[in-house]
Amino acid sequence: MRRALLTLLIGAVAPGVSTSAHHSFAAHYVEDQSVSIEGDLVQFEYRNPHSWVHVNARDETGVMRQVEAEWASAPRLKQWGISEDTLKPGDRVIITGSPSRNPTEYRMHLKSIQRRADGWQWAGPATRR
């Protein structure tokens, strides 16, 4: 009887429990290194599980590349005051972050972003501007 009651209770509660899996950024990015790029925003993907900022920027040899910067989830960005309208194509931005472990990928883990045109910036969860 106890076992049946426990099974019933777990069956009733389990669907309401949120489960999520998350990978470590360190698996894809060199988290103890930092790089910065400056370029024009191509697209801001405000989505889950992570948002992405796509920027056309010159690499160290002067070649124009599209760099993808992985950011936080849309709900987390919303908590920080960032909406899908915060960044627009054509915005000139400076992004600092951790480079990809694969040097042939033009990706980074976004740590800070700024738009000099109007002084907007985000440099971590505590930034409110």
- The number of distinct structural domains making up the chain is 1
Helix/strand/coil for 87: coil
- What CA–CA distance (Å, rounded) separates 9 from 50? 34
Give the residues across from 95 on adjacent strands.
37, 113
What is the 3 state secondary structure string of 18-73?
Answer: CCCCCCCHHHCECCCCCEEEEEEEEEEECCCCCCEEEEEEECCCCCEEEEEEECCC
Strands 35-45, 92-99: pairing is antiparallel
**Dihedral sign computed on CA atoms, order 32, 107, 94, 86:** negative
| In-domain check, residue 9 | no
| In-domain check, residue 62 | yes
Q: What is the pLDDT of residue 27?
A: 73
Whole-model pTM: value is 0.78
| In-domain check, residue 128 | no
> Containing domain of residue 29, as a range?
25-122
| In-domain check, residue 118 | yes
| In-domain check, residue 127 | no
| In-domain check, residue 5 | no
Q: What is the pLDDT of residue 6?
A: 42
Q: What is the CATH number of the domain that holds 56?
A: 2.40.50.140
Q: What is the pLDDT of residue 1?
A: 53
| In-domain check, residue 67 | yes
Mean pLDDT of successive 10-residue stretches along the chain, which has 129 residues: 47 42 72 96 97 96 96 97 98 97 95 97 76
How many CB atoms neighbour CB 57 within 10 A? 20
- What CA–CA distance (Å, rounded) separates 91 from 89? 6
